[in-house]
Amino acid sequence: MNTIDYIYRFDPKNPTAKPLTRDAEAARRALEDGNRMFSHWMESCRTNTTSLGEPRYVVQCNGLEVGMKRTYGEMPTQSPFAVVVGCSDARVPTEMLFGQGFNDLFVIRVAGNVLDDACLGSVDYALSSLSHSIRVVVMLGHSGCGAVTGAVDAYLQPLKFWSKSVTPMLRSITQRIFVAVREAANGIKDVWGPDARDMPGFREALIETAVCINTAQAAFALRQDVERNARWEIEVLYGVHNIRNHQVCMPVDPAEPRSDEHVHLATAPTNPKEFYALAVQMAQILKPGRAKPSEIVASSTNGSAGRAHDVSDPDPETV
């Protein structure tokens, strides 16, 4: 039977433990390479490209966790190389989408990936108790986030915020996201023009931009937390999981087809001014009338002059 396999593998003939990740850069590469593998697998599932012979998508399990002999009753040492703070959304399986297995990631999940006291306390626990192995802290958002969508809808229709169906606990999550929504709206208005709110696709663009800004702002706060703990050797990264192509990127083009070079975990912002710059960048990507990647490729194939839009270039209509 031909199948499309994603394998967690332990080799009893070679039950060695995974070596600790050397440094922050090696940890970043491990996460990005794992996401490339996962997105390849998801693309195979989508296109019905079956695995022939040896499965192509294999996560090596840590021998200490699944089969290496040790004294009966002895517990393995917890040694994750990354802390990942992400959303509780069931479509975002953290270890799987980063191509990691047992004891590789210390995962904290909360709706909207907001940083409440319990979440930050969990990060502090990892920084203090697992500092021997932690190399990076990652803030992970995802496209189409329900919590961010709720904050956007409350921003556009404030009465929804006070609906009886919204509990105080849920309202507290929405409040934590409002600043990101406002920053996103300002960036879109400055790029699209004063009538942006009345343009087609505004709500969808506001959601996707707010997802990125919310993730960036949380990463900034995590950087401050890491610095307060004087863990200078630990890098703070952030990215958004595009649930359409299953890649972790920053910035994120929702219409972008899967491509290995798009996978990118960015370094956490060091200055709040970077939030507005990211909002403008996302607004340029999502601006109505901008050529989509497939249209750019088709244009190039037909011999058209010019090049694909670089999101780092200023939008000529906003300069």
241 is in an annotated binding site: no
What residues contact residue 216 under an 8 Å CB cut-off, 6+ apart?
238, 268, 269, 274, 275, 278
CB 142 within 8 A of CB 239: no
Helices (H), 71-116: 94-97
Please, is 121 exposed, middle or buried when counting C-beta atoms within 10 Å of its C-beta (0-12, 13-18, 19+)? exposed
Does 119 count as an annotated binding residue? no
Residue 249 labelled as part of a binding site: no
Helices 202-228 + 273-286 axis angle, to 10: 150
Tokens matching residue 266? 């960015």
Bridge partners of residue 247, in order along the sequence: 242
CA distance 214 to 58: 33
CB neighbours of 44 closer than 8 A, spacing ≥ 6?
Answer: 4, 50, 51, 56, 57
The angle formed by the CA atoms of residues 126, 131 and 137, to the nearest 5 degrees, is: 60
61: annotated binding-site residue?
no
Dihedral of the CA atoms 37, 39, 41, 46 (nearest 10)?
A: -170
**Which amino acid is present at 140?**
L
Give the angle subtended at the CA of 134 by the CAs of 128 and 136, to the nearest 5°. Answer: 115
- 249 φ/ψ angles, rounded to the nearest 5 degrees: -135, 165
Binding residues: 87, 89, 142, 145
Binding residues for Zn(2+): 87, 89, 142, 145
